[in-house]
Structure 1
């Protein structure tokens, strides 16, 4: 807000006198005398303006200064910089970047005007100082996103979408050939290596640098004949995968003689695993999507569809199956990822469509996203993979429409980007590497060749 400067010769904005200047309009930023302070508010355009005495303004400025000195409850090294009207609490710059960039944000001075200006018995606006009674609004902490206190929201591209105003750039850096018919699953090991797999049986560790002659990625190692439904890699490069032969979780690692060993995790559930994910922040936690044996996309009274977390020794930690209203959370869990206490699940409702469900660490649903806008998508929304950016935006790969859906942490669509112009065909899997490059694996177009492509993709601005 603008400050009064005692070195400037002031006059009343209405009658131009320099006497009895005791008031200031906080919206117009003009000074008023005792006589004109009421006249100023008579005009319809000024009827909602706040006119404060200089004494109140001094308190106002001091209060603003005091608030801006307060450390953020969530980011203790930062100070409060603004107020989120959407969430109804003070935020710092880091809060804004992490989850409030598309909310209604106001400055501290506007926050004070709206919450700390009152009228006295004569109807004159005055500013009241902070007190312990203001703790609910002034000192309210940014809530732990995982307390389950906020109601879940269903989002679609046709409902409340906020499109990104900043500049976002997309670029294909390189296109590589592989020796698989499709890259159904993709996991990064480090900046130079990755695991890719095809449902028919092979898990391949590849070097992310092509041979000079063919531009084909070289297979370093192969584990054949395992019929994996999904794979996950922990921080040391061990592979967990779902074996479709016996519906067990398998662990692939090297022994002390550098030989590959495959073992089964203890089975603490009787259901059929569908998808798997290792947390990057804590890779002792493994997330698994489950369904009853022989399940399809139909839900019946006896159906059971779950997302569970287990420890690396196989012990069960959490079971997420129902909403707070005792409704099924999932129809058919297809892919899982996680980031900073959030779990994102692709939930297929048929072979040709699905949704994305966001849960907190307690299993409370935060939102469900489904693209239902016919002008943006020619076919039904078919999410096939999901990743989270460093800025906590969520990228959903829509295979049927060959597009990215980029969502903010609240599940609102901020950008829908077609991949047609980048000559990316049949994308079905993706992962970020350590350098924030996005690798995209292609599927099969029905041809019986082993030339699935892997694209190195760069996105800036999100």
Structure 2
């Protein structure tokens, strides 16, 4: 008969039941559980469990322990098994130990059960741990496959795009060559055909005259000669043809085609993993900086705006926007935003309403890259278009001291500046103000002002086809130098000595990078350019330990 779970099975009165005795299989109220049930002989060995714990591990173990006491002997069906034969590995009763299992080593079944239960629990824990680790490894494998597929698909698309470009280029070139050949041929052919017609007419006239003369001279009659008097015009036909033009010889030279498709396979370690990707709706994200209030700022070179933004609820939210065309930005410890603008000797302080003068360099020099180090050191890159030279100016904002040094390289336009923890700097130096083609140069500031520590002009494999074109640069707390290669769409990672270590790009899921920034948590922020059908993105990446 089914038990009425709403009434105590012991007193059949109380409806406030919340206990169950596993051994008695009774539903109990509080009073019966505490007073009446406890009077049963052996009740102290019973297991009583609350209703809300009936499906738990504890309840299952209690039921299994009770079932252990009820295992019937397979040889003596009226007896229960209280022993375990370790030689035969089966439960046995007392009669078995006197008969078929006489002389066998046997122990209490509870001991064997407890040991085996503990061993099974440990093994299950080990299996579950391995499964969780396996799931993590499988997830990593899946992510690797996805990254490899993205890289493969991206490179394949670029190869096919290049193939189509080459086809179109060859088709267009062939059409131009045929047109050029047609023009050469038709021009001469028309003139020569005209001359040919004139020559045919001249020959026809001559042949007519010759025919008349032959007719008179080919007969033996003298009268034939006399009859030609007054009939044959001895005047030669007019020569209306001209000298043929100088012969033009068109030669077809079959050269090896210039195949500009380059595939480089670099076996290098991954440095970062992406944690977030934000769609911005912008055309380009350049010159990202961290502000003191926890927000960030960036430039959009397409519409000449400076924008302030935050990351909130999984989205990139823009808070402020200022229409202003600037070259470079830096943020002071006090929260001032300093900027350089095109063709100016002034460093400006950017406010909500616009810009105001902050510092100036000596004219005709023009400001390029700007960077603040610590509390009061301002580095300013400048060019002198008249004397065709570049340099770095150093302002001590606390003591109003000033230093500078010139750049003695062919790529002398200092577009971006960053500093390491010692105050030494790395500078992006381009060929001119019209191109990103350039290099990275590390300079010592103290004690040897302007001493070159190292130069990096790109990777021999990566930049075999496309020039090294650094557009932004940061230095991590570990001293790694990261720089965006604009034309190759990857980020070069260099050691503190300027040696190439690895790269960040499509394999990590980063496409068309443009700018770099380190946030206060030490994470890398990567601003991108727009790609086909998608707006610019901001990638957040953590460094792999």
TM-score after normalising by structure 1: 0.53
**Could you tell me whether the CA contact under 8 Å between 1:190 and 1:434 is conserved in 2?**
no
Are the structure 2 counterparts of residues 418 and 168 from structure 1 closer, same or farther at C-alpha, using a change threshold of 3 Å? Answer: closer
Q: 1:268 aligns with which of 361, 383, 388?
A: 361
Q: CA deviation at 1:321?
A: 0.5
Q: 1:386 aligns with which of 470, 473, 482?
A: 473
Q: Could you list the per-position Cα deviations for residues 249-296 of structure 1 after superposition, in whole angstroms to 9, with x for gaps in the alignment? A: 11024xxxxx656311242321111111111xx231111111124x8x
Distance in 2 between residues matched to 1:245 and 1:332, nearest whole Å:
13
1:227-246 correspondence runs (5 A): 227-244=325-342, 246=344
Any gaps of 5 or more consecutive residues in structure 1? 1-162, 254-258, 296-301
Are the structure 2 counterparts of residues 403 and 377 from structure 1 closer, same or farther at C-alpha, using a change threshold of 3 Å? Answer: farther
Task: Name the structure, 1 or 2, with higher relative contact order (CA <8 Å, separation 6+).
Answer: 1
What SS does the corresponding residue of 2:458 show, helix, strand or coil? coil
In structure 2, the residue matched to 1:424 is 510
Distance in 2 between residues matched to 1:439 and 1:191, nearest whole Å:
17
In structure 1, the residue matched to 2:440 is 356
Please say if 1:365 is aligned against 2:446.
no
Are the structure 2 counterparts of residues 283 and 306 from structure 1 closer, same or farther at C-alpha, using a change threshold of 3 Å? Answer: same
Any gaps of 5 or more consecutive residues in structure 2? 1-266
Distance in 1 between residues matched to 2:393 and 2:480, nearest whole Å:
24
Q: 1:187 aligns with which of 289, 311, 318?
A: 289
Distance in 2 between residues matched to 1:391 and 1:189, nearest whole Å:
22
**Could you tell me whether the CA contact under 8 Å between 1:266 and 1:313 is conserved in 2?**
no
Q: 1:205 aligns with which of 308, 318, 323?
A: 308
Q: 1:284 aligns with which of 353, 376, 381?
A: 376
Q: CA deviation at 1:245?
A: 6.9
What SS does the corresponding residue of 1:421 show, helix, strand or coil? helix
In structure 2, the residue matched to 1:403 is 490
In structure 1, the residue matched to 2:527 is 441
Q: Could you list the per-position Cα deviations for residues 74-102 of structure 1 after superposition, in whole angstroms to 9, with x for gaps in the alignment? A: xxxxxxxxxxxxxxxxxxxxxxxxxxxxx
Are the structure 2 counterparts of residues 228 and 375 from structure 1 closer, same or farther at C-alpha, using a change threshold of 3 Å? Answer: closer
Distance in 2 between residues matched to 1:388 and 1:277, nearest whole Å:
13
Distance in 1 between residues matched to 2:465 and 2:343, nearest whole Å:
37
TM-score after normalising by structure 2: 0.46
Q: Which structure is higher in strand share? A: 1
**Could you tell me whether the CA contact under 8 Å between 2:472 and 2:515 is conserved in 1?**
yes
Q: Which has the larger radius of gyration?
A: 2
In structure 2, the residue matched to 1:338 is 419
Aligned residue pair count: 272
Distance in 2 between residues matched to 1:314 and 1:349, nearest whole Å:
34
Q: Which structure is higher in helix share? A: 2
Q: 2:298 aligns with which of 176, 196, 200?
A: 196
In structure 2, the residue matched to 1:318 is 403
Q: Could you list the per-position Cα deviations for residues 175-221 of structure 1 after superposition, in whole angstroms to 9, with x for gaps in the alignment? A: 112243211211012584111112342111101225x6xx4x11122
In structure 2, the residue matched to 1:453 is 537
Q: CA deviation at 1:384?
A: 1.4
Are the structure 2 counterparts of residues 375 and 278 from structure 1 closer, same or farther at C-alpha, using a change threshold of 3 Å? Answer: closer
**Could you tell me whether the CA contact under 8 Å between 1:342 and 1:360 is conserved in 2?**
yes
Mean alpha-carbon deviation: is it higher for 365-374 or for 310-319? 310-319
Distance in 1 between residues matched to 2:462 and 2:353, nearest whole Å:
50
Are the structure 2 counterparts of residues 244 and 376 from structure 1 closer, same or farther at C-alpha, using a change threshold of 3 Å? Answer: closer
